[in-house]
Structure 1
Amino acid sequence: MWLVTGATGHVGNVLVRKLLERGEQVRALILPGESRESIHGLNVEAAEGDVLNLDSVFESMQGIKGIFHLAGVISIMPGPNAFVRKVNVDGTKNILRAAQEMNIRKLVYTSSIHAIQRVEDGVIDESVPYDMKNPYGAYDRSKAEATLEVLNAAQTGLEAVVACPTGVIGPYDFRGSMMGAVIHDAATAKPALYVDGAYDFVDVRDVADGLISAAENGKRGESYILSGQKISIRYLLETVREITGKHFFQMKIPFDLARFAAIFTPMYYRFANATPRFTPYSLEVLQSNSNISHAKATRELGYSPRTLYESIKDTVKWILEKKK
């Protein structure tokens, strides 16, 4: 049996589906009161618990052969965030402590491309170090710190590997990620505001396949980038329009104007308890170097991501069917 933390998230629920398709048994660590919509109807053993509660972590690992650790908090808001660090770092430390004491055979940690040091030019691959002092956001720093904890545990004998996805899109996005919301609005012909910019996006199903392959073929203490294809936001919107055949209002916001507005939007959205599209962090990502290589994952894991056109098409189909 595999333990999956963060099983109700976007990557998590797709990973669960992939494991079940392979005939694996799955136990999902789920926060008390957390929505289970994304895994409803799946043959999963649900274990209520919290990665911050060491007792529940130990309990969830009874009788398992390996762990996919995905539980974490994502944030694109500026400034320090103690809760993000607590969940992402301290929660990972709890997982590692329990895995080591219980002699778990395999641990696959889902990190992030944003944990890796920013590189202005050239190719970003696994030779670029993780950056605990990343100036761009608390999320990036917390993922880097947690990743280094996993790699340190691997050096002392834990069979642990790390996977670093880029921007994840795809079907089964029940909670509505930031890019998922962009695709949703375009698919339902809502007006779209966008800025010049591009990033590397990858299909959630390819990430899940990559995680499973990392468990089977990954080498202890190694990291694997799970990237896809670099596309612009404008291309993404135009692709959705082509797929649906629906025209919708699009307006490109001058980047300097978006940067100025992003100074103020985080304060508004904190009061509104919502996630903004434009923050200093999200704008920086869209302007950053996204020449990202998955050559190592292809070579060692057999990783082969699909085209983003296929991914966007399947995402639109899932969104529209879900609305029926």
Structure 2
Amino acid sequence: MKTAITGGCGYVGLNLVRTLLDAGHEVLALDRVQSPHLDSRAQWQEQDIFDAPSLQTALEGVDVVFHLVAKISLAQEDAATWHVNVEGAKVVAEAALMAGVRRMVHVSSIASFDMYQSRGRTMNESMPRSVDPGLHVYARSKYAGECEVMKVAARGLEVVVCYPTGVFGPQDFGSPMPHLNGNMVDSARGRLPVMVEGGFDLVDVRDVAQGLLLAAEHGRNGENYLLGGEFVSMIDACRRAAQLVGERGPRFMLPMKVLKGIAAVVGPLARLFGREAGSFSEVALATIETSGPIDHSKAARELGYQPRPTDETLRDLLDFCIERGILQAGDKGRLDDGAGRRA
């Protein structure tokens, strides 16, 4: 099978490239910049997804295209985020249709579900979607982009939509690392004395990549699949990461009420200086406050999706960081394999 990946040199993209190649598929990675970590077995092409004629040419002869390109923002409104996540998804779908691509696997986000309406319940694919104008732009744009893709699907393109949850794990060459990985590594360094209240459904990036391949092979046309892992409190995840290298991890958990008080000050100050408040933004806190368990049984049942245990991912992430010199093993040796032995 000949495949193409938009955003093939990003975190999920690089892992998907390797997964597809190992499964015997041909891979064309499309991105604006080539990663030095791109698997040498893959082809690479510089590509702007808004250059429709060039994109259509690149997709000719491709069986399946995986659309990963997206812009993440914690702002309430951001024109660039809307443009990339909505218009960009539409352009890719139309180019795929015109090029004769058989199937598009559209990678959306758990944020495209309205977490407020689903709060207190285990989330599945039938939950309410992010259409409320009061929701932040990333949530609204991811669902709006999905709607644009499905309009193209009505004209003949096969489409399967997948929603990864909180992605973390090894093979992360970002600088700085994404938020979840960064927290785990900082905890293992002993640099994270406190952690926020709340948790996420965490999923290994390699399991997400495998889930996307399974969606391409076995997903039903027009269907959507949650690619989740295990719901874990953030303080527990960070402590488990720290304990693997002999550290204690965060000592205290900041209650949401305190965090919201901080956000009420930090948010306006950040906006005053034209910046985002990051972890202390109202949006970031609302995301962690409303996050809950995810039901990925549909993906398990229809695709054969089976995510690995969280502790296995934590060990592999920290081993990866030690190998790259990001994290020093010190006198602790290699990571404990979970049975009291050094891996």
| TM-score interval, smaller chain | over 0.9
Q: Distance in 1 between matches of 2:43 and 2:272?
A: 35
Contact 2:108/2:162 (<8 A) preserved: yes
Contact 2:4 2:28 in 1 (8 A): yes
Question: Which SS does the other structure have where 2:280 is aligned?
Answer: coil
2:123 counterpart letter in structure 1 = I
For the residues of structure 1 that align with 2:92 and 2:123, how far apart are their CA atoms? Answer: 28
> Matches of residues 64-213 of structure 1 in structure 2 within 5 Å?
64-75=62-73, 77-118=74-115, 119-133=118-132, 135-175=134-174, 176-213=177-214
Higher relative contact order (CA 8 A, sep 6+): 1
Measure the CA separation in 2 of the matches of 1:142 and 1:198.
24
Q: Please report how far the alpha carbon of residue 38 of structure 1 lies from its aligned counterpart in structure 2 after TM superposition.
A: 3.6
Equivalent residues of 1:117, 1:134 under 8 A apart:
no
CA distance in 1, matches of 2:128, 2:195: 31
Distance in structure 2 (CA, Å) of the matches to 1:11 and 1:138: 22
Displacement, 1:280? 1.2
In structure 1, C-alpha distance between the alignment counterparts of 2:295 and 2:156, rounded to whole Å: 28
C-alpha contact (below 8 Å) 2:89/2:145 kept by paired residues = yes
What is the Cα deviation at residue 274 of structure 1? 7.7
Runs of 4+ in 1 over 3 A off after TM superposition: 247-251, 263-275
Contact kept, 8 Å, 1:269 with 1:276, in 2: the verdict is no
1:151-187: CA deviations, max 9, x gaps? 2332332111000111111111211111111112112
Change (3 A) 1:322 1:222: same
Could you give the per-residue CA deviations for residues 96-129 of structure 1, whole angstroms, max 9, x where no partner exists? 1111112211110000111012212322111124
Matched residues in 1 for 2:81 and 2:34: separation? 20
Q: Deviations over 1:249-271 (max 9, x none)?
A: 64432322211222343554995
Partner of 2:46: 48
Aligned equivalents of 1:201, 1:134: Cα separation in 2? 27
Query: Which amino acid in the other structure matches residue 114 of structure 2?
Result: Q
1:263 lines up with 2:261 in the alignment: no
Deviates more, 1:154-163 or 1:256-265: 256-265
Work out whether residues 14 and 205 of structure 1, in 8 Å CA contact, stay in contact via their aligned partners in 2: yes
Q: Using the TM superposition, give the Cα deviation of residue 46 of structure 1 relative to its aligned residue in structure 2, in angstroms.
A: 1.1
Aligned partners of 2:188 and 2:249 also within 8 Å: no
Instruction: Find the counterpart in structure 2 of residue 8 from structure 1.
Output: 9
Amino acid at match of 1:63: G
> What secondary structure, in the 3-state scheme, does the structure 1 residue paired with 2:70 have?
coil
Partner of 1:172, secondary structure, is coil
Structure 2 partner of 1:319: 321
Structure 1 window deviating more from structure 2 (241-250 vs 85-94): it is 241-250
3-state SS of the aligned residue for 1:150? helix
Q: Show the 5 A alignment for 1:264-279.
A: 264-266=265-267, 267-268=269-270, 276-279=278-281
The Cα shift of 1:191 comes to: 3.0
Report the Cα distance in structure 2 between the residues aligned to 1:193 and 1:13, rounded to whole angstroms: 32
What's the secondary structure of 2:121's corresponding residue? coil
Normalized against structure 2, the TM-score is what? 0.87
Q: Which amino acid aligns with 2:197?
A: D
Q: Partners in 2 of 1:79 and 1:67 — Cα distance?
A: 30
TM-score normalised per structure 1: 0.92
Find the aligned partners of 1:270 and 1:246 in 2 and give their Cα distance: 38
CA contact (8 A) 1:37 1:174 kept: no
Give the match for residue 305 of structure 1: 307
Q: Which secondary structure does the structure 2 equivalent of 1:67 belong to? A: strand
**For the residues of structure 2 that align with 1:160 and 1:227, how far apart are their CA atoms?**
20
Mapped contact 2:238–2:249 kept (Cα < 8 A): no
In 2 relative to 1, CA 190–274 (structure 1 residues): closer, same or farther, beyond 3 Å? Answer: farther
> Helix, strand or coil: the match of 1:47?
strand
SS in 2 for 1:168: strand
- Describe the SS at the equivalent of 2:315: helix
Aligned match of 2:293: 291
**Any stretches of 5+ residues in structure 1 without a counterpart?**
none
Structure 2 CA distance for partners of 1:269 and 1:228, relative to 1, 3 Å? farther
The aligned amino acid for 1:320 is: I
Aligned-partner SS, 2:324 = helix
Which residue, 273, 281, 284 being the options, matches 1:282? 284
CA 1:319–1:3 in 2, change beyond 3 Å: closer, same or farther? same
CA distance in 1, matches of 2:84, 2:289: 28
**One-letter amino acid of the structure 2 residue matched with residue 162 of structure 1:** V
